[in-house]
Structure formats: C-alpha cells, structure tokens
Amino acid sequence: MQNSNSLVRRSASSSEKPNPRKIMPMLDQFQPFIHDFIHNIVDAKTDGNCGYRLVVGLLGMGEDSWSLVCTHLLKELGKFSNEYMKLFGGKERFEELRISLLVDGLTKVTKDKWMDITDVRYVIASMYNVILVSLSQQQSMTFFPLRSQPLPDSSVHRIICIGHVYDNHFVQVYLKDCCRLPLVALL
C-alpha cells in the first residue's frame, strides 16, 4: 500500500545523461543566439593594450608581442595611405589613427592609445590577410581584407574573432565552426 502524498522519484536512465555546458566568463557580453557557437573565451591582460595583445595571440605570435601589431599596422597605413584616408574620411582622422599606433611599449598606455576596432578593423584584416569577426552585445561585424581576393578553398581562410566586452575591454573568442554560424552573426 502506498501513501497518496508520497512522491515517486524516477531515476534517469544512463543513456539520458545531461549535456554539461562549459561555463565561460563574459559569455553574457554576447548576443544569446551566438552562445552555442562560442567554444572558448580567453581574457587578455588589462593594461590598455588588450586589443593588440589579443590580435597577436590569435595570430600565434604571443601576447607580449603586442607592440609588433602597432608597428605592422603603421606600415600598412603608410603603404596604402591614400586608400585609408578615403576610407577614414580624410587626412585628419587618418593622422589620429596613425598617432594612436605610435607606442613605445614602455610607458603607461593612455586611453587615446587603446585599440578602437571601428578604426583598425580593415587595417588588421588587410595587414594580416585574415577575416576579422568582431562580436559584442551591441553589434557583431565581419571584415575582409581590402586588397586580396578570397581563396578558392574557403576551408583555408584564416578567421580571427575579437570580443568587445564591458564597453572597454577585448577578449579572444574561439568559435566552434565558423562555416555553420548564422549569416547574421558574420555580417
């Protein structure tokens, strides 16, 4: 005889194991529809150079080589200055970006030297011939190199993904399978 107030507990079968979800810091800083495509989020040192640190990290050069990115971007700007002046809307904005990239790696970085993804997006994509994906809570964007043509085999494209979090910090974002991302996430 069984009491009608007692609870009957069912045990889950061994084949119905819950799929544990990896807890990632700062995942809440990105749109929910993209969460399932994010494999990992890696924080960069918060010293004002986080944006440049993560670019070298994603390119495999080591986070402490961040000033090398500034040097490379300065060379890219110098080599194609006329095109970038048109892109930035004139010489004044071009010079502001160029000056922001002049760093010595020794002095404390002020806010005017922080990476602004809206300024350097095409410069990074073009300099390193990569597809740059920028994710944030406000807006996600994808940038392609300005002068190179897509490779015939899309599987060899180099895609790097930068996350902008808390309105003032960048993190490395590793995506599971970029080929299966929703189109809106990449555009």
Reported as a single tens digit per residue, the pLDDT across 32-72 is 988 988 989 988 888 888 888 889 888 888 877 888 999 99
Residue 89 has pLDDT above 90, yes or no: yes
User: For residue 60, what pLDDT is reported?
Assistant: 87
Are 49 and 109 in contact by the 8 Å Cβ rule? The answer is yes
Exposed, middle or buried: residue 13 (CB in 10 Å: 0-12, 13-18, 19+)? Answer: exposed
pLDDT in tens, 145-163: 999 876 777 667 788 999 9
User: For residue 149, what pLDDT is reported?
Assistant: 76
Supply the DSSP string of 108-167, one letter for each residue: PPPGGGS--HHHHHHHHHHHHT-EEEEEESS--EEE--SSPPPPSSGGG--EEEEEEETT
The mean of the pLDDT values for the chain is 81
Query: Was domain 27-177 assigned CATH 1.10.40.30?
Result: no
pLDDT in tens, 106-140: 666 778 888 888 889 999 999 999 999 999 988 88
> In this predicted model, which residue has the larger pLDDT, 115 or 92?
92
* End-to-end CA separation in angstroms for the chain: 64
Quick check: helix, strand or coil at residue 36?
Answer: helix
User: For residue 18, what pLDDT is reported?
Assistant: 53
Question: Could you give the strand order of the β-sheet that contains 38-43, starting from the edge strand earlier in sequence?
Answer: 38-43, 169-175, 159-165, 131-136, 141-143
Residue 102 has pLDDT above 80, yes or no: yes
Banded pLDDT at 11 (limits 50, 70, 90): very low
> What is the distance between the alpha carbons of residues 146 and 154, in angstroms, rounded to a whole number?
17
Q: Show me where the domains of the chain are located.
A: 27-177
Banded pLDDT at 29 (limits 50, 70, 90): very high
Percent residues over pLDDT 70 in the chain: 78
> What is the distance between the alpha carbons of residues 187 and 133, in angstroms, rounded to a whole number?
9
> In this predicted model, which residue has the larger pLDDT, 181 or 90?
90
Q: How many CB atoms lie within 10 A of CB 165?
A: 21
pTM, two decimal places: 0.77
Banded pLDDT at 77 (limits 50, 70, 90): very high
